[in-house]
Amino acid sequence: MNDATSSPQSVLVLGATSDIARAITRRLVERRARRIVLAGRDRAGVERVAEEMREAGASDVTTVAFDAADVGSHREVIDKAFAGGDIDLAVVAFGALGDQSRDERTPEAAAALVTTNFTGAVSTGVALAERMREQGHGAIVVLSSVAGERARRSNFIYGSTKAGLDAFYQGLADSLVGSGVRVLVVRPGFVKTRMTEGMKPAPLSTTAEEVAEAVVRGLERGSGTIWVPGPLRAVMVVLRHLPRPVFRRLPI
Amino acid sequence: MAPELLTGWGRTAPTAAEVLRPRSPEEVSELLAAAGGRGVIARGLGRSYGDAAQNAGGAVIDTTGVDAPMEVDPDTGVARLGGGVSLDAVMRHALPRGWFVPVTPGTRQVTVGGAVAADIHGKNHHHDGSFATHVSALTLATPAGVRRLGPDDELFWATAGGMGLTGVVTEAVVRLMPVETAYVWVDTDRTPDLDSTLALMAASDADYRYSVAWIDCLTRGASMGRSVLTRGDHASLDQLPQKARGAALSFSSAARLAAPPWAPAGLLNRLSIRAFNEAWYRKAPRRQRGRIHSIGSFFHPLDGVSGWNRLYGKRGFLQYQLVVPFGAEDALRRAVERLARGDCPSFLGVLKAFGPADPGPLSFPAPGWTLALDLPVGPPTLASLLDELDEVVAGAGGRVYLAKDSRLRPELVEKMYPRLGEWRAVRAAADPAGVLRSDLARRLGLLEDTK
């Protein structure tokens, strides 16, 4: 169960090897989380994260194979996780950055990115919501991005997948009002992780640990959407309203 | 039926359950027999602060609509009360006839069933014990059938403090206390620090039926633990002023104020709470003797403001109540010291010396010092602060109160309640299929031995 300070006892992580997911899971284990189900495609990587969580104090860590692009398998993966008992909190953290210059010239690659980042997030979201509705409680934390708030020339395919994901989970949150299930949409800015290695950090860049801390606080506060770092919220309000010719020319 | 979102009085951790509203004890039994896979738990007036009367994804039996008796023998004060009857209703019925409930918590808005299930205590615990001590018989609807229980039955004591997990109390026979008036005489003493508070209570609590200290947990240094002690007993007719004697037993329970339906999170913050605590301490007389108070103002001051829990805003609040044995004053001092740092401000705490425990394996009161605090949810250090206090309390051989808990680390339950195993065995016999469940039970692993 989630306690009065919104600390979960059991956590399912989809995309468990991502740096942000690992940081969030670790923070939750440091609090109350004892049963952890880690799902991911890279089995060896998932096992390493499992070991890390056991060392951090989780007493019951299991792993399950999960491929975000294989949407037909999602219901089964999620049912398997819930078969071991209630899941208090699910983290939807899988996703890829893609390669904009390649993807915008390769229809298959662009569609594959959309399948992983958006379609996969939709099918897991529907399955999670169904299970959590039945158990009468739960929280879903989903990793969106500020890139979804307004598509940029430099990464609009990735941005559009996050825009779709973000819209879907906002709507899912509304559909779950009164069910005991809540959704926290997390919009980080540039996060220094393995996924962004080699890229030049944008202004207001952040770290996986800061995102994890913000998630814990967002859950405690009962937030629906958070930006990390917080000031990005105001920045995005401005950026969203810039005329397109201006926005397009911004060095971001 | 559509599930309803339920929380405890602290308004934290809402979960959805189907709320069933039986009209008779027979219907209660039928609902227990028909319970689904996620089980069922009784809920009275929802005054447990945490998740004791919630059952996510399952069913919750609202006991307040069950047609129930309220019979008070005018000669002996023995009362037959329905499990869903409120202590407020009992007082309105019995006080004009010269009888008072043997134990009242800080609110009248609890049901008799809830009073048994939490084995509630009041300001007279050192003198009269907890609620179940005054119960001579219980009718308990269990999934294994209806049981009539007396204090010789193990299941009776597993039910007292058993948080509803042994069944639904549909009736209790309670011995009421004779009173001449609906008033209380009160002696007030203001104490400058924690040591003098404890010393005064230890020295003279025995002279009073009721005793409690309001302790300021935000002041540090030499004045740490300064308190206002109020102690007294029911006033006899000749203690009342002449003009009040004509209506000595009249009792009004109407709330005078209502909290607004909406309050901003953070209205009750460090500054406002500190100012309130300061004012409370300053306005109290240094020493006053024999002041007459109405029963409402002495026992249930917050009942005068209906929905006061809403003042904590949408994030809600939690109550933390600990007891540590006599001799573990150091643990109490460490708890007050930690709270006084002020990063998690608490309204006036309530400090009291408990008397002997009753035989309930999960009954909270035990001989020692109990401290209860209301803490708004929000400060980032709240969760770790309370974890820290838990360790201090468990290390001193103490425990926290399950009826108020909403965040205890499950690993500590067995340490705090060493008779949990014994309770589980008795409980399992009454509920072999494991139908009785609550969020509290799930969160703390009360039902299963996880080792």
Minimal Cα–Cα distance from B198 to chain A, Å? 31
Whether residue B366 is contained in a domain is answered as yes
Alpha-carbon distance B106 to B113, whole Å? 16
Q: Kindly report the CATH number assigned to the domain that includes residue B286.
A: 3.30.70.2520
pLDDT in tens, A172-206: 999 999 999 999 999 999 999 888 888 888 788 99
pLDDT in tens, B294-321: 999 999 988 888 888 888 888 899 999 9
Contact call for A1 and B58, based on CB within 8 A: no
Which residues of chain B lie closer than 8 angstroms to A222, CB-CB? 314-315
Contact call for B377 and A220, based on CB within 8 A: yes
Query: Residue type for A37, please?
Result: V
Chain A residues with CB-CB distance to B under 8 A? 1-7, 9, 31-32, 34, 86, 133-137, 178-180, 217, 220-222
pLDDT in tens, B168-202: 999 999 999 999 999 999 999 999 999 999 999 99
Q: What whole-number percentage of chain B has pLDDT above 70?
A: 98
Among candidates B372, B259, B380, B385, which has minimal Cα distance to B313?
B259
Search chain A and give the residue with CA nearest B50: A4
Q: What whole-number percentage of chain A has pLDDT above 70?
A: 100
Residue A169 annotated to the active site = no
Whether residue B125 is contained in a domain is answered as no
* Per-residue confidence band for B87, with pLDDT thresholds at 50, 70 and 90: very high
Domain boundaries, chain A: 10-249
Q: Are B447 and B441 in contact (CB under 8 A)?
A: yes
Among candidates A149, A144, A153, A159, which has minimal Cα distance to A114?
A159
Structure pTM? Answer: 0.95
Chain B residues with CB-CB distance to A under 8 A? 3, 5, 10, 12-17, 38, 50-51, 55-58, 265, 314-316, 318, 377-378, 380, 382-383, 406-407, 409-410, 439, 442-443
Summarize chain A as % helix, strand, coil (round to 5): 50, 15, 30
Which residues of chain B lie closer than 8 angstroms to A129, CB-CB? none
Q: Which of B14, B17, B383 comes nearest A5 by C-beta?
A: B383
Could you give the number of structural domains in chain B? 1
Whether residue B22 is contained in a domain is answered as no
Whether residue B445 is contained in a domain is answered as no
B287 φ, ψ to 5°?
-155, 125
**The CATH number of domain A10-249 is 3.20.20.240:** no
- The ipTM of this complex is 0.94
Alpha-carbon distance A96 to B66, whole Å? 57
pLDDT in tens, B16-69: 999 999 999 999 999 999 999 999 999 999 999 999 999 999 999 999 999 988
Whether residue B80 is contained in a domain is answered as no
What is the pLDDT of chain B when averaged over all its residues? 94
Whether residue B162 is contained in a domain is answered as no
Whether residue B134 is contained in a domain is answered as no
Which residues of chain B lie closer than 8 angstroms to A221, CB-CB? 265, 315, 378
**Host domain of residue B297:** 183-407
Report angle CA B154, B157, B159 to the nearest 5 degrees: 110
pLDDT of residue B117 exceeding 90: yes
Other residues' Cβ atoms within 10 Å of the Cβ of residue B401: 25
Contact call for B15 and A180, based on CB within 8 A: yes
Alpha-carbon distance B159 to B430, whole Å? 10
Pick the residue of B38, B390, B407, B446 with the most A CBs within 10 A to test the interface with A by mutation: B407
Active-site residue (options: A82, A94, A118, A158): A158
pLDDT in tens, A85-118: 999 999 999 999 999 999 999 999 999 999 999 9
Alpha-carbon distance B201 to B204, whole Å? 6
Whether residue B327 is contained in a domain is answered as yes
Contact call for B383 and A2, based on CB within 8 A: no
pLDDT in tens, A109-147: 999 999 999 999 999 999 999 999 999 999 999 999 999
